[in-house]
Amino acid sequence: MADTTSSPDVKTAAPEVSPSKPDFSVGDVEKFNVGKREMDPAMAATGGAIVHYSDDAYARVLRKIDTHMLPLMCWIYLVQFADKSSLNYSSLMGIKTDNHLDGYQYSWLGSIFYAGYIFWEFPTTFLLRRLPIGKYLSVNIIIWGAVLCCHAATTNWAGLMITRCLLGAFEATITPGFVLITSMWYKQNEQARRMGYWLACNGVATIIGSLIAYGLSAVTHSALEPWKILFLLFGLITVVTGSFYLWYMPDNQLNARFLNEEEKLIAVERIRDNFQGIGSHLWKWNQFWEALRDPRTWMYGLYSLLMNIPNGGITVFGGVVIRSFGFDSRTSLLLGAPGGAVDFIAKLVFPWLSDYFMDRSLFSFIAILFPTLGCVLMTVIPIEHKGALLFGNYLISFAGASWCLVMVLISNNTLGYTKKATVNTVQILGYAAGNWIGPQTFRSSDAPMYHTGKTIMAVLYGCSALVLVAIRVINVVENKRRDRAEAASGIDLNDPEVQDQIARSKFMDLTDFEQPHFRYVL
């Protein structure tokens, strides 16, 4: 069923190699200073052997992974977005009145969530690397569920500021954690669709959350205010979910309950061509510094900042913006649901196209043009044309599909587990900073149409599209440079010994700078 080849010892001394220009003068990877402790656990799991399984075996294991891992990620991503968006729903259910909030204070409730996010992002990146990822994520889920329940006990702005900040800190683990999990379990040409599936649950959460909030808003005779019931309901669901995940969610392929011993090895072997393993727990400072020297790192962060400033505004003020079109509060809650449907469909269609054509930046660029147009429409269309204004509002929901594909770009193109975690952190910090700034672009003095906020959104979406073009150009130029260097090196890539050495290097936790045979996905 499988054939293997033995593994030579890996040397622990190596000549210096420029991290920005991979060395093509040799065909092996023994030049790198990589000891056994520094290798990815995938190397130990396979015993250093290269194992070839049948396509049927790979397909069977992939079906098992999809059946068990995707529901886990999809459900908790739905839950976390509903929890985060609960403030938006509660703004139309009486929380402003009961907590004596003015427009300025409500804007800061949207921003302070991301202050907690930013504060905890670097520590959580380190802990995601050092601790079992499934257990660490599960504990954070339980804690943020408890914090969400505490929202129901608040009576003033100060109490809400504290609970929102803590909620942001503990929710900061999920997106970078899920990007790492997706890159650990899936091949490059499978990742966009899978990431699209769990990100699409934001749209499902919008639909379900809007309907639940609409139903609770009709409650008039209750010991608790409707917005308090909302927080308690969402929070308790989250705590129960986190408790189950603590027991069931695997840290990697090697301790997955749903795989037998042979399937665990198949699950590891099938991702070899990612040039990545299953996640070393060793923090490598050379990879950290390399990430900071890589221009792509900062372009991912800039893109995320630019496109999430509008996202932060619409997440907190989405219901208020719809109400500004001339609808009452309850109807505005209900009209938020179609935006979730658009988000859901976009995150399924664009990642599917991206995997089919194996092109990330092109489809991310196309997707970001839709919210740009939507913001322009909301800015220029007169208030009496409610249908057209709603159409423009719903186009904004395409933005998430663009962001999804940028995270797939990071997953595909950033090698080395520490480097990937670091680049993810910079991108997520851009995300958090953008969402922190976003609510401040909607000023109460600009109500009810919020002309300034909508104009800023249109401009920033357009700028983020230009950043995607720049990322693509950088990758095209670097791939061509590597092609020329490889051709000039005289290495015979058809030589079985060279192929064997390249295959072994893929589980050595080397970076994309250190892997000269790696090509960046566009």
pLDDT tens track for 432-449: 888 888 877 777 667 666
Contact between 502 and 29 under an 8 Å Cβ cutoff? The reply is yes
pLDDT for residue 483 is more than 60? yes
Model confidence band, residue 49 (pLDDT cutoffs 50, 70, 90): low
Exposed, middle or buried, 53 (CB in 10 Å: 0-12/13-18/19+)?
Answer: middle
pLDDT for residue 24 is more than 70? no
Residues in a beta bridge with 3:
52
Residues in a beta bridge with 52:
3
Which one of 107-116, 283-292, 315-324, 462-471 scores highest in mean pLDDT? 462-471
Residue intervals of the chain classified under CATH 1.20.1250.20 are: 55-255+274-490
Residue 496: asked if its preceding bond is cis (omega within 30°), the reply is: no
pLDDT for residue 10 is more than 60? no
Exposed, middle or buried, 173 (CB in 10 Å: 0-12/13-18/19+)?
Answer: buried
Model confidence band, residue 460 (pLDDT cutoffs 50, 70, 90): very high
Give SS3 for 381.
coil
Q: Which of 194, 192, 187 shows the shortest CA–CA distance to 274? A: 187
CA–CA separation, 411 and 406 (whole Å): 9
Query: Average pLDDT of 23-34?
Result: 43
Model confidence band, residue 43 (pLDDT cutoffs 50, 70, 90): low
pLDDT for residue 72 is more than 90? yes
The residue with tokens 């892997």 is: 515
| C-alpha separations of 224 from 75, 208, 227 in Å | 27, 21, 8
Percent of the chain whose predicted confidence (pLDDT) is above 70: 83
Instruction: Specify the pLDDT at position 294.
Output: 94
pLDDT for residue 504 is more than 60? yes
pTM: 0.75
User: Residue 219: enclosing H or E segment and its boundaries?
Assistant: none
pLDDT for residue 189 is more than 70? yes
Instruction: Specify the pLDDT at position 41.
Output: 61
Instruction: Specify the pLDDT at position 129.
Output: 77
pLDDT for residue 15 is more than 60? no
pLDDT for residue 159 is more than 50? yes
pLDDT for residue 499 is more than 70? no
CA–CA separation, 265 and 256 (whole Å): 11
Model confidence band, residue 141 (pLDDT cutoffs 50, 70, 90): very high
Model confidence band, residue 6 (pLDDT cutoffs 50, 70, 90): very low
**Domain 55-255+274-490 classification at class level:** mainly alpha
Query: Average pLDDT of 33-54?
Result: 58
Instruction: Specify the pLDDT at position 232.
Output: 92
Percent of the chain whose predicted confidence (pLDDT) is above 90: 27
pLDDT for residue 68 is more than 80? yes
Pick 455 or 332 by higher pLDDT: 455
Instruction: Specify the pLDDT at position 274.
Output: 65
CA–CA separation, 423 and 305 (whole Å): 14
For residue 99, the tally of other CB atoms under 10 A from its CB is: 20
pLDDT for residue 422 is more than 80? yes
Query: Average pLDDT of 269-288?
Result: 74
pLDDT for residue 489 is more than 70? yes
Instruction: Specify the pLDDT at position 365.
Output: 96
Instruction: Specify the pLDDT at position 98.
Output: 83
Supply the mean pLDDT for the chain: 81
Query: Average pLDDT of 282-288?
Result: 83
Query: Average pLDDT of 90-109?
Result: 78
- The sign one gets for the Cα dihedral 245, 230, 124, 340 is positive
Query: Average pLDDT of 43-50?
Result: 58
Instruction: Specify the pLDDT at position 18.
Output: 38
Model confidence band, residue 38 (pLDDT cutoffs 50, 70, 90): low
Question: Strand locations in 247-367, DSSP E?
Answer: none
